[in-house]
Amino acid sequence: MKTVKPFDILLPDVAQPEKFAVVSCDQFTSQREYWDKLAAEIGDAPSALKLIFPEVYLEDGDAEKRIEAINSSMQSYLDNGVFRTLKDSFVLVRRETAYGNTRLGIVAPVDLEEYSYVHPTEATIRATEGVVANRIPPRLAIREHAPVELPHVILLLDDRGKTVIEPFYKKRHELEKLYDFDLNMNGGHLTGWRLDAADVIAKLEEHAERVKGLYGVDTDFVFAVGDGNHSLATAQAHWKRVRKGLTPEERENHPARYALVEIENLHCDGIVFEPIHRFVFGVDDADFVLYMSTVLQGESRLKMFTTNMEYTIAVNSNSAEAIAEVQDAIDAYVSAHPGASVDYIHGLENLHQIADTSDGVAVQMPCIEKTELFGYVAEHGNLCRKAFSMGEAEEKRYYFEAKKIR
């Protein structure tokens, strides 16, 4: 399978792995206190926190300084032996979350030439949500001079027979254990084992043959982006810049062409699709609710609330269509009202916390069924942006493995 390719994977060689691993940078974007507490807990210890740009800080006005510090820390970690190298290996991962869910995955590099967020496409790897073009440049600025990447992208397989990842997990006691530790900030527990890359690629090739024609309109659709759509789009944009100055031979194995991801099975019992809620800041509550109730209609009901009020409006009974229509309505309202803005909130508890402490309106979103994902994307292309989340905020992928991209 040309989509997946062996590359050296970097693993932190640190005394306190629980301080190195941190949650995805696009979580807790309206809860600065989460990231401040995390930074205090980590202190001076080597940590992925020093290698990422949490999105909560994007509007602070010091992006250039932060990016310089990130790149400097990355190079320092490479120079000073913070990472050790796994040759021709992938990583089998078991993530146990604080919510009682257990997910299995394989960390491996994938070819960005095989990814597309445009529909229709013959790409092997396909986006599941609309990619917002203006969200790429800030991420591209972070990646432009970075020597390494740390992934929070999750790709999904439609492996109904559980033939790719699960057989490796059944034989985990025969594998070299790489790490086994509790995650910080209520993240659960993370365990990893070393896999031979060739064995994984063989399993994926067999799976790719099985799913050919499964969706009626496709032959090559193997991976759907479950999380990190914009991160993968950014990695591809960076690669397109880099490849312009390379010969065809140099392009074949350039490290920037391959993005490190975690591959998971959609049909794993531990993968739960959750809605991504919206919180609309800087609006007149009554006017916004009236607008939404006027432009939306349907047979289902959607809840909105503020600190002390609750509202219910009618929406489309088709979840995918309802999410798109609600998002379009919010976008139109925010565009017409200077000072209004929207944030995307993982977890109903977090949504209530923000509503209790902020001025604005919480929108409690519906969610699609995970079994609908591959068929919908094959036929229709992307879902609306931020259509679903794989679990609650604390269940999102924690950065740990890394790969050189220069």
Q: How far is CA 87 from CA 179, 187, 197, in A?
A: 16, 28, 9
What is the distance between the alpha carbons of residues 320 and 325, in angstroms, rounded to a whole number?
9
Average pLDDT over residues 295-302: 97
Which tens digit of pLDDT belongs to each residue from 239-253?
Answer: 999 999 999 999 999
Average pLDDT over residues 126-134: 86
Which tens digit of pLDDT belongs to each residue from 47-74?
Answer: 999 999 999 998 899 999 999 999 999 9
Mean pLDDT of the chain: 95
Residue-level pLDDT at 120: 87
Average pLDDT over residues 341-369: 95
Q: What are the residue ranges spanned by the domains of the chain? A: 9-272+391-404, 276-366
Average pLDDT over residues 122-128: 94
What is the distance between the alpha carbons of residues 331 and 363, in angstroms, rounded to a whole number?
13
Please tell me the least confidently modeled range out of 6-10, 294-298, 382-386: 382-386
Residue-level pLDDT at 392: 87
> At how many degrees (to 10) do helices 136-143 and 63-79 cross?
40
Confidence of residue 104 (pLDDT cuts 50, 70, 90): very high
Residues above pLDDT 70, as percent of the chain: 99
pTM of the model: 0.91
Strands (E), 266-393: 273-274, 276-281, 300-305, 310-315, 341-346, 360-364, 389-390
Residue 384 is given by DSSP the state P
Average pLDDT over residues 10-39: 96
Residue-level pLDDT at 218: 61
What is the distance between the alpha carbons of residues 405 and 359, in angstroms, rounded to a whole number?
42
Query: Among candidates 130, 389, 154, which has minimal Cα distance to 275?
Result: 389
Q: How many residues does the chain have?
A: 406
- Does residue 1 surpass a pLDDT of 80? no
In the numeric block, the tokens 């609650």 are attached to 392
What is the distance between the alpha carbons of residues 368 and 373, in angstroms, rounded to a whole number?
8
For 303, list phi and psi in degrees, rounded to 5.
Answer: -100, 140
Does residue 137 have a cis bond before it (omega within 30 degrees)? no
Alpha helices in 310-360 (DSSP H): 319-336, 348-357
